[in-house]
Amino acid sequence: MIATDILMAEHRIIESVLDVLEEGAQALDSGTDVPAEFFLGAAEFIRGYADDYHHRKEEGILFKAMARHGFPEDQGPVGMMLMEHEEARAFTRELHDGAVRLKAGDAQAKAAIARNALAYVGLLRHHIEKEDHILYMMAEHAIPPNEQDEMAADFERVERDEFDATAQERFKALAADLRRRMRA
């Protein structure tokens, strides 16, 4: 499997959480009670899987390889993706902070949770679309096949050395739990 296929498979898991996060935010925004724990779990998934597990591979391996082949990290498509990663982190911080406030009894936090969750969902859907259909194709054309094989091996090394052996399964289970909680 080439490196970008691995990243696209991870996008499908992220999208499954985006779907239920959007449901939860819309429900909260329309006056339905959604437990703060749901949004805390969503923020945990985003931070742990989307940002740390997935973006670590993109930022630390794929984008570096693209930079070596003419795509600077401070501008152009890679620069845009990095900027969007930072924007997503800001929405996630606000989502988490709002959920903490809601859990502590601050009903005013509901609007901030809904606003930041929906902003995150919108950003990430467009971001993933651009990566899957534009950026990754650019990478596949620019990076020689032997380096693509090295990137896939580097992804495995990151998973093995920087996360415990159950990380991928734990994140998938958290995503399934979030879907179950929203649909219950």
Provide the residue-wise pLDDT of the chain in tens; the chain has 184 residues.
Answer: 689 999 999 999 999 999 999 999 999 999 999 999 999 999 999 999 999 999 999 999 999 999 999 999 999 999 999 999 999 999 999 999 999 999 999 999 999 999 999 999 999 999 999 999 999 999 999 999 999 999 999 999 999 999 887 888 899 999 999 999 887 7
Parse the chain into domains and list their residue ranges: 3-183
CATH of 3-183, one of 1.20.120.520, 3.30.950.10, 3.40.50.720, 2.40.30.10: 1.20.120.520
Q: Which of 15, 56, 36, 17 is nearest to 96 (CA)?
A: 36
* pLDDT at residue 82, as a whole number: 97
Residue whose pair of structure tokens reads 């179950």 in the numeric block: 180
Q: Which of 59, 56, 47 is nearest to 88 (CA)?
A: 47
| CB contact set of 46 (below 8 Å; sequence gap of 6+) | 17, 88, 92, 95, 120
* pLDDT at residue 183, as a whole number: 78
CB of 64 closer than 8 Å to CB of 3: no
* pLDDT at residue 164, as a whole number: 84
Residue whose pair of structure tokens reads 């935010």 in the numeric block: 25
Tell me what percent of the residues of the chain surpass a pLDDT of 90: 91
User: How many Å apart are CA 34 and CA 31, to the nearest integer?
Assistant: 9
Neighbours of 68 (CB within 10 A): 11
CA-CA distances (angstroms) from residue 121 to 2, 92, 136, 162? 27, 10, 21, 27
User: How many Å apart are CA 59 and CA 94, to the nearest integer?
Assistant: 22
Instruction: Note the pLDDT tens digit of each residue in 111-148.
Output: 999 999 999 999 999 999 999 999 999 999 999 999 99
- The DSSP symbol for 53 reads I
